Amino acid sequence: MQVSVKYFASLRELMGESSRLFDIEEKSSVDDLWQQIKNKKNVNFENVMATVNMQYVKSNHQLHDGDEVAFFPPVTGG
């Protein structure tokens, strides 16, 4: 199945891109995807936050085909 991934802020700069489509195995979790991305890009990034379809989720949240997943550093608004 395929999911779209977005990166923001310092993570976007580290990845060198703001979005990308990823092919992942059925029943993959958010953490499975993040590990796949980290291995592929060979990056180390602490305290990453994740949303799926613009909702905060836990790292074991199961992904579905067509999901929009976003990874980003801790937020600093206000």
Partner 1 sequence: MKINICENSFNSYEEIDAYEKKLNAKGKFGATASFIGSMRNFNEDKKIESMFLEHYPDMTESFLNQIANDAQKRFNLIDILILHRVGQIEISEHIALVAVWSEHRKEAFESCRFIMEELKSRAPFWKKEKTTTGTHWVKNNTPGT
CB 74 within 8 A of CB 11: no
The answer to whether residue 70 forms part of the interface with partner 1 (CB under 8 A) is yes
Residues 12-51 that bind partner 1 (CB under 8 A): 51
C-beta of 26: minimal distance to partner 1 in Å? 26
Long-range contacts of 17-25 (CB under 8 A, 24+ apart): 24/63, 25/1
Residue 38 or 73 with smaller CB distance to partner 1: 73
Collapsed DSSP state (helix, strand, coil) of residue 25: coil
Q: Which residues bind partner 1 (CB under 8 A)?
A: 6, 8-10, 51, 54, 56, 70, 72-78
